[in-house]
Copies of this chain bind each other. A is one copy, B any other.
Amino acid sequence: MQNRIPVIEKIMSANDRLAAENRAALDAAGVLAFNIMASPGAGKTSLIEQTVQRLKGKLRLAVIDGDIATSLDADRAAAAGATQSIQINTGGECHLDAVMVAQALPQLQLDQIDLLIVENVGNLVCPATFALGTHYRVLVASIPEGDDKPYKYPGSYREIDALVINKMDLLPYVPFRLDYFRQGVAMLNPGVASFPLSCLTGEGMEAWLVWLVEAQQRFKSAR
């Protein structure tokens, strides 16, 4: 297996170059982009659905959905009211990469969009190492996953700009120590913006939406 490392390094630097090109295209069009990562079932699609519904009419949102097999997620984003919605079928690949996003971007009318949300493949390991060219990385954790996840998947918690803690409504029913979880997060990523919420009940959604809108306003006024 010794010859795997150079091959992987080559793939990574090609990916980083292409991610920089994606970023430049987004910047030129004035589109602020978010890479949403999580375990399968933590609630990425529900979060995007709720976000699109609640920001509809205020900001023009597009969604790129990465999935290994179906178009269920892009369908949900479109139904929720996304201005534009595109499915990337990764054909079995366990993460999105900058190549896939570069192929998707020309299918969007970037000048008609304020925010682009990229939903990565459900996976707490591989997506963290592939830059896509987005401005922000957001991790969606969820209460029933357990409080040990920052300790066990440190790579996913380390380089994120925001942490959504979804399914807070299940807290009474599962053994989840919020302090232990937050301690793990703080060790890897002190001061990261955190949004405990429930996509099911809507509790806590407001703070997350404010963060998104403010990020977009800062981005717009810096242009």
Q: What is the interface of chain A, defined by CB distance below 8 A to chain B?
A: 1, 3-4, 7, 11, 14, 39-41, 67-70, 72-73, 92, 94, 99, 121-126, 129, 142, 144-146, 148-149, 151-155, 167, 169-170, 173-175, 200
Q: Note all chain B residues with C-beta closer than 8 A to A149.
A: 40-41
Q: Note all chain B residues with C-beta closer than 8 A to A14.
A: 1
- State the number of copies, please: 2
Closest to A41 in B: B145
Q: Check B1–A153 contact: CB distance below 8 A.
A: no
Q: Check A72–B41 contact: CB distance below 8 A.
A: no
Shortest C-beta distance, A163 to chain B (Å), equals 15
- 19 cross-chain CB contacts under 8 A: A4-B11, A39-B39, A39-B40, A39-B122, A41-B144, A41-B145, A68-B152, A68-B154, A69-B153, A69-B155, A73-B152, A92-B129, A94-B123, A94-B125, A122-B152, A123-B123, A123-B126, A125-B126, A169-B173
Shortest C-beta distance, A153 to chain B (Å), equals 6
Q: Check A167–B144 contact: CB distance below 8 A.
A: yes
Shortest C-beta distance, A72 to chain B (Å), equals 6
Q: Check A124–B125 contact: CB distance below 8 A.
A: no
Q: Check A40–B99 contact: CB distance below 8 A.
A: no
Q: Check A170–B153 contact: CB distance below 8 A.
A: no
Q: Check A72–B175 contact: CB distance below 8 A.
A: no
CA distance A154 to B197 in the complex (A): 29
Q: Check A70–B152 contact: CB distance below 8 A.
A: yes
Q: Check B69–A152 contact: CB distance below 8 A.
A: yes
Closest to A46 in B: B146
CA distance A145 to B146 in the complex (A): 12
Q: Check A170–B144 contact: CB distance below 8 A.
A: yes
Q: Note all chain B residues with C-beta closer than 8 A to A146.
A: 41
Q: Note all chain B residues with C-beta closer than 8 A to A148.
A: 72
